Amino acid sequence: MSAAGAPAPGSLAALCSLEGRVALVAGGSGGIGRTVCQALLAAGARVASLDRSVERAEPGTHALACDLTDPDAVAAAVADVLASHGRLDLVVYCVGVSRDGLSWKLSVDDWRTVIATNLDSAFFLLRSVVPALRTAGGGSLVFVSSINGERGKVGQSNYAASKSGLNGLARTAAREVGRFGIRVNVVAPGWIDTPMTAPLSDELRQRALAETALGRVGQPEDVAHAILFLCSGLSRHVTGQVLRVDGGQWIG
């Protein structure tokens, strides 16, 4: 430890610590997003949470109601975070909805809703935060995607397309902003026990379980820990990557 009680520079504790950092979590009231907020707070970051409603926001976060499909609302929310905290270092995008149906039966509205919510909003957020991350001298941006964005999934053409789009957006952004010290990565979960998967049938859950190499389905903490790694100094030379957090489900 240093004389001031802070971890010694370059030590494992210093690399893991997010003290002095400001993080923004889009979708921070969701099953994964709220757990991510908890992990970032525990690591010492100040955390702002954006979501349609602040009712389920994690205590201790700077919670802002924001329609993430509205580019003006996203820009205003980011400006609010900067005005309140003076900087922005870490951004995590945990937004996702599903409207399932076979491709040829899927309604135009269900297609557009999923693409707007899962992909358009990621672009709006990216566009709004990059200038702030540049001003801070660098930072980390993490998108939460899905293994279905890589492998596809019957009945999820809209969802899979949106998550595949996130992968492409992240890799392109990583090339564009790397010279500013900004890293952009993706975490791609498999089945995670969240309010989003809770309504699905036990048959589907058991099928996902059977696909996993580790023999269990994931929990929000599993995703949050991977995101914490990508936000920390432990991953300082990692960018443009898709990290699957699926217990081996993608290879199953």
DSSP string covering 4-25, please? TSSPPTTSHHHHH--TT-EEEE
Which residue numbers are catalytic? 159
Which is it for strands 90-93 and 22-26: parallel, antiparallel or unpaired?
A: parallel
Tokens of 188: 């791609």
Look-up of token digits 């929000």: 220
Distance CA 81, CA 185 (A): 22
Tokens of 80: 């609010």
80-99: b (≥16 Cβ within 10 Å) or e: ebbeebebbbbbbbbbbbbb
CA distances 223 to 114, 142, 209, Å, are 21, 11, 17
Per-residue confidence (pLDDT) for residue 40, from 0 to 100: 98
Distance CA 210, CA 79 (A): 45
Tokens of 51: 């979501």
Contact 74, 8 (CB under 8 A): no
Q: Which helix (H) or strand (E) holds 151?
A: helix 148-151
pLDDT one digit per residue (tens) for the chain, 252 residues:
454 567 787 788 888 899 999 999 999 999 899 999 999 999 999 999 999 989 889 999 999 999 999 999 999 999 999 999 999 999 999 999 988 889 999 999 999 999 999 999 999 999 999 999 999 999 999 999 999 999 988 889 999 999 999 999 999 999 999 999 999 999 999 988 877 777 777 888 888 888 999 999 889 999 999 999 999 999 999 999 999 999 999 987
What digits encode the pLDDT tens for the residues 126-180?
A: 999 999 999 999 999 999 999 999 998 888 999 999 999 999 999 999 999 999 9
Beta strands in 62-208 (DSSP E): 62-65, 90-93, 139-144, 182-189
Q: Which of 65, 131, 133, 52 is nearest to 97 (CA)?
A: 52
Distance CA 68, CA 242 (A): 23
Distance CA 130, CA 61 (A): 21
Q: Mean pLDDT in the chain?
A: 93
Per-residue confidence (pLDDT) for residue 5, from 0 to 100: 63
Distance CA 238, CA 242 (A): 10
Percentage of the chain beyond pLDDT 70 is 98
Contact 48, 85 (CB under 8 A): yes
| CATH numeric code, 16-245 | 3.40.50.720
Per-residue confidence (pLDDT) for residue 1, from 0 to 100: 47
Tokens of 157: 């053409």
What are the structural domain ranges in the chain?
16-245
87 φ/ψ sector (left φ>0, alpha ψ -120 to 50, else beta)? beta
Distance CA 210, CA 2 (A): 49
Burial of 106 from C-beta contacts in 10 A (0-12 / 13-18 / 19+): middle
